[in-house]
């Protein structure tokens, strides 16, 4: 919604004037930095690029790190092929390669960048400046960061801070500068077979229909860019709402997996080849 509003600002509007929306896409980025990188190998497994959280959180860039880690993984596989051994022990040399590479050095230098914003924008910017002056350390050697969903404010907490509940922001789509979510979904080219088992598994819908409605106001309706989550009238409970899912709309951005405050949404991989079709993007 904020981005839709941003496009209607007179300055941005002028830039977009005469343009046409060709495609639409949405994707989260793994920007928690060095300390969020998991162990990189296991039996028959190596993690590279975004799947390993190798993204420079200060520059929001990860292509070069994905390429570098891919190269190091390829060198490791070459060795493993020669020895016909793909055990965790044999793949350990990938971890060693990463630990000795410029990729690790670059990520280590920005290790506390994201966590620096824990106290808000201004402390985060100040910390970013110290980080540059101290070769990456900043004000602390290691700052523990919470999971993203733990920063979400409950409705009553929000009310306590601001004296009022959040107002729902709405913009009437003009289909020129601003668009509704279903038009966006269409422009993402996403496709899923309607009959396949849902690739979004809700482990406890009771939480969605009761506790979350009361405590957080079902934020999945707002943070999902593809209108997968809707709260509709529950025919069995007068005046109450229940969660309705449309998984075939999903554009695979993974926001729900990360941002759901109760962590009851499990995003699993749908059958092969399904999802958005990001041609020319």
Ligand X SMILES: Cc1cc2nc3c(=O)[nH]c(=O)nc-3n(C[C@H](O)[C@H](O)[C@H](O)COP(=O)(O)OP(=O)(O)OC[C@H]3O[C@@H](n4cnc5c(N)ncnc54)[C@H](O)[C@@H]3O)c2cc1C
Binding site for ligand SF4 (CB under 6 A): 200, 224-226, 228, 250-256, 267
- Whole-angstrom Cα distance, residue 31 to residue 191? 28
| Total residues interacting with ligand X, rule: CB under 6 A | 12
- Whole-angstrom Cα distance, residue 113 to residue 31? 9
29 binds, among ligand X, ligand SF4, none (CB under 5 to 8 A by kind): ligand X
Q: Is 256 exposed, middle or buried (CB count within 10 Å of its CB: 0-12, 13-18, 19+)?
A: buried
- Whole-angstrom Cα distance, residue 190 to residue 184? 10
Nearest distance, CB of residue 263 and ligand SF4, angstroms: 13
Contact status, residue 223 vs residue 259, Cβ threshold 8 Å: yes
If the CB atoms of residues 139 and 268 are measured against ligand X, the closer one turns out to be: 268
If the CB atoms of residues 128 and 275 are measured against ligand X, the closer one turns out to be: 275
Nearest distance, CB of residue 86 and ligand X, angstroms: 19
For residue 267, what is the DSSP state?
E
- Whole-angstrom Cα distance, residue 96 to residue 80? 15
If the CB atoms of residues 65 and 243 are measured against ligand X, the closer one turns out to be: 65
If the CB atoms of residues 28 and 209 are measured against ligand X, the closer one turns out to be: 28
| x-marked contacts with ligand X along 47-86 as a string, rule CB under 6 A | --xxx---x-----xxxx-x--------------------
Start-end of H helices in the chain: 2-7, 10-16, 63-83, 88-99, 102-109, 121-133, 155-162, 181-188, 205-206, 213-215, 220-223, 255-259
Instruction: Return the ∠ at Cα 121 (arms to 117 and 127), rounded to 5°.
Output: 55
Number of residues written out for the chain: 281
199 binds, among ligand SF4, ligand X, none (CB under 5 to 8 A by kind): none
251 binds, among ligand SF4, ligand X, none (CB under 5 to 8 A by kind): ligand SF4
Q: Pick from 27, 39, 147, 160: which binds ligand X (CB under 6 A)?
A: 27
| By CB under 6 A, residue 15 contacts ligand X | no
If the CB atoms of residues 63 and 125 are measured against ligand X, the closer one turns out to be: 63
228 binds, among ligand X, ligand SF4, none (CB under 5 to 8 A by kind): ligand SF4
């Amino acid at each position: 919604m904020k981005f839709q509003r941003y496009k209607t600002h007179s300055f941005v509007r002028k830039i977009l004037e005469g343009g046409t929306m060709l495609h639409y896409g949405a994707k989260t980025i793994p920007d928690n930095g060095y300390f969020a990188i998991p162990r990189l190998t296991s039996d028959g497994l190596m993690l590279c690029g975004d799947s390993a959280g190798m993204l420079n959180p200060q520059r929001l860039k990860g292509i070069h790190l994905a390429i570098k880690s891919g190269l190091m993984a390829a060198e490791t596989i070459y060795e493993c092929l020669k020895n016909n051994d793909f055990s965790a022990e044999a793949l350990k040399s990938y971890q060693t390669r990463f630990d000795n590479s410029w990729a690790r050095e670059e990520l280590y230098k920005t290790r506390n960048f994201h966590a620096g914003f824990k106290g808000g924008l201004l402390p985060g910017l100040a910390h970013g400046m110290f980080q540059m002056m101290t070769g990456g350390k900043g004000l602390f050697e290691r700052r523990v960061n919470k999971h993203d969903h733990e920063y979400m404010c409950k409705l009553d907490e929000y009310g306590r801070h601001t004296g009022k509940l959040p107002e729902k922001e709405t913009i009437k789509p003009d289909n020129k500068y601003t668009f509704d979510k279903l038009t966006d979904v269409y422009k993402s080219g996403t496709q899923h077979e309607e009959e396949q088992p849902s690739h979004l598994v809700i482990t406890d819908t009771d939480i969605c229909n009761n506790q979350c409605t009361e405590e957080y106001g079902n934020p999945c309706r707002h943070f999902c860019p593809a209108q997968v989550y809707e709260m509709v009238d529950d025919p069995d409970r007068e005046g109450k709402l229940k969660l309705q899912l449309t998984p075939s709309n999903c554009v695979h951005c993974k926001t729900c997996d990360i941002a759901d405050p109760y962590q009851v949404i499990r995003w699993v991989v749908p059958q092969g080849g399904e999802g958005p079709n990001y041609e020319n993007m």
